[in-house]
Chains A and B, each alone.
Chain A
């Protein structure tokens, strides 16, 4: 039986791991991203997502370098994104060792590119990230509202070739009150591809809520940096709540 996945998200700005609160990244977390990945590998995390949230397009090459360093020590699936705006860069990230590409703004600005990437690399490679606030989807690092409601946006993303949806809520990001469950539920009901819930996890029960809302995978960022053996504790909590999870990684 397929397990529900626990995903650790690393938010990077100019090569450093940062904390995200409502899409502001003021707090730099002082450790090397490669070190963070080695910890996640040892622990129970099922997949890793790395997002480049820099506002400068010039950050792309440095980010690809970090992906390359991280992938050498990453033995779970690795999804990466931020500034995936052309096929050449997408190919470069995959060659750097990424297994999946996380895209966001091209769904609004360049749908044909999304279709091209899905055709070339396969749907399983394409993760459509969507940032939600006030029942509409925002793009470009949450600076532009699209006016499209989340469920319709998710359906469109799947039509364009998304194999998974990475759901985030701008209001809930870093707000410590759990996922935006109402919107998450609507998105999960709208599509038949796996939905990854993200944004707002402050206690392990929030992960269980995400699964109960229909998510196939639950993701968090900040909480994993500040809690010792965090991913193992998260897994244990999910298992005790009756969620089928992979437990092999729990042996230390």
Chain B
């Protein structure tokens, strides 16, 4: 089988090198891409990100990356969003005002609620339960812990999009699958064995 070429989108926010290090570890071929014109020819895309939603959308738009990614998404190219990258795929976010997202997934990004014993941001290793099987999570035991850092979460309009969730004072969507679109709220690149397996699955199984 031909080895997939993976584009890691760099729009100036966050953990691209960690993602690339993890892809190297699982034997994938990847390149960091900052220009929409360079997206051609990649089999798969990873959209990472750490930081504020509105800043990220502005940076994507400034370069026309939002449109270029939208075309890829519509053309059926697999795209994996990670953390903020997952949130950007949604319709809109209420983080510091109301901001439209890329709009590929019918979901709203809303604040996690603080409760007694529940700290915000949700930071640390939490147990993920899978709702069904998928090539993305093949070989990963139900109940594996993944590393999360986020203060907002994705509220899906369509429960069928949810592939895995965890509990942090409320149900939190941890993994999404919608056609050729995939996303993880946790950081697979920082979630040791389970996370590396998810990335390997994305590169090899999807």
Contacts and interface: CB of A to CB of B under 8 A. Distances in A.
Contacts of B205: none
Helix, strand, loop or mixed for chain A's interface?
Answer: loop
Contacts of A122: 50-52
A96 B21 CA distance: 11
Interface in B79-127: 119, 121-127
B17 A248 contact: no
Contacts of B149: 77, 124
Contacts of B18: 71, 97, 99
Interface in A200-234: 216-217
Contact of B193 (A72, A77, A248): A248
Contacts, number: 82
Count chain B CB atoms within 10 A of each CB in A72, A74, A248 and give the residue with the most: A248
B24 interface: yes
A71 B25 CA distance: 12
A9 B168 CA distance: 27
A207 to B, nearest CB: 16
Contacts of A136: none
Contacts of A247: 145
Nearest to A43: B192
Contacts of B51: 121-122
A227 B144 CA distance: 27
A192 B127 contact: no
A3 interface: yes
A124 B190 contact: no
A72 B24 contact: yes
B88 to A, nearest CB: 16
B161 interface: no
Interface in A56-105: 71-77, 95-97, 99
B136 to A, nearest CB: 18
A173 interface: no
B190 A71 contact: no
A97 B145 contact: no
B157 to A, nearest CB: 27
B119 A192 contact: yes
Which 7 A-B residue pairings sit nearest by Cβ, starting from the closest? A246-B145, A246-B125, A3-B125, A2-B124, A124-B149, A72-B21, A77-B190
Given A1-B167, A74-B21, A97-B21, 12 more contacts: A2-B124, A2-B125, A2-B126, A46-B125, A71-B18, A75-B191, A97-B18, A121-B51, A122-B52, A124-B149, A216-B124, A247-B145
16 contacts: A2-B122, A3-B145, A71-B21, A75-B21, A75-B22, A75-B191, A76-B190, A76-B191, A95-B17, A96-B17, A97-B21, A99-B190, A122-B52, A163-B123, A217-B124, A246-B125
Interface of A: 1-3, 5, 41, 46, 71-77, 95-97, 99, 121-124, 163-164, 192-194, 216-217, 246-249
